[in-house]
Amino acid sequence: MVKAVVLYNSRTGNTKKVAKKIAEGLGVESFDKKKIPDLQDFELVVLGSWVIMGRISFGGARYLRRIRKKLASKKVALFFTSAGPDEIHWKTEKTVPRTIGELMFESMERIINQNQNVTVLQERFYCKGYIKFGGQEDNIGHPTDEELEQAKAFGEQLKGILEA
Ligand SMILES: Cc1cc2nc3c(=O)[nH]c(=O)nc-3n(C[C@H](O)[C@H](O)[C@H](O)COP(=O)(O)O)c2cc1C
């Protein structure tokens, strides 16, 4: 069996749904940030979070900081959900335009790489998530069944890497 685990934080359930599908593809379990198991035995740790105001959610940043020391010498794969992962982050509009996705992965990596010997895989996943905020709804139906199948395929891809 693949020695991997999927961890996530999720406020409204989008990231949780994706985490479960990635875990299904890998054939392993997924855990909310409040129930993180002992990571010692895992070769691959898949880490997920979501975006708030163009950056990693506060709960996401906190749990990554909390576990980063335990990731030494492991492989890590990253994923997230957000309203507009491919949109240009407003802070970069007037300089070098960067997408929310690029900045999100960068900030997740920055957190876990500190003082660590971690291998962050190039394989990553993101998709849109439903949002309801200030009385407005957007991305109704996301993550869609298709996106969830892509998440499962991502898990299968990671499994292939571990087994290679
Ligand atoms: C207060 C708030 C601010 C958000 N800000 C952004 C944002 O700046 N950019 C973005 O792409 N998505 C933004 N989102 C959307 C969330 O990232 C998206 O709904 C995500 O899928 C939520 O994940 P969850 O359901 O796992 O909590 C925001 C959501 C909330 C509630």
Say what the pTM is.
0.97
- Nearest protein CA to atom 16 of ligand 1, as residue: 82
Contacts of 112 (CB under 8 A, 6+ apart): 47, 64, 68, 71, 76, 118, 120
Q: 114 in ligand 1 pocket by Cβ < 6 Å?
A: no
> Can you tell me the distance from the alpha carbon of 104 to that of 49, in angstroms, rounded to the nearest whole number?
9
pLDDT for residue 114: 85
Q: 56 in ligand 1 pocket by Cβ < 6 Å?
A: no
> Can you tell me the distance from the alpha carbon of 27 to that of 14, in angstroms, rounded to the nearest whole number?
20
Q: What is the pLDDT of residues 89-132, one digit of tens each?
A: 998 988 999 999 999 999 999 999 987 799 999 999 999 999 99
Atom of ligand 1 nearest to the CA of 132: 31
Binned average pLDDT, 10 residues per bin, the chain of 164 residues: 92 98 98 97 97 95 96 96 95 92 96 90 98 94 98 98 90
Q: Which residue from 162, 161, 42, 64 is spatially nearest to 112, judged by alpha carbons?
A: 64
Q: Indicate the SS3 state at residue 102.
A: helix
Run of H or E including 127: strand 119-128
Amino acid in the structure at residue 118: V
Contacts of 23 (CB under 8 A, 6+ apart): 5, 6, 29, 30, 46, 155
Instruction: Find out whether 30 and 6 touch, Cβ atoms under 8 Å.
Output: yes
> What is the residue extent of each domain of the chain?
4-163
CATH code: domain 4-163 is: 3.40.50.360
Q: 132 in ligand 1 pocket by Cβ < 6 Å?
A: no
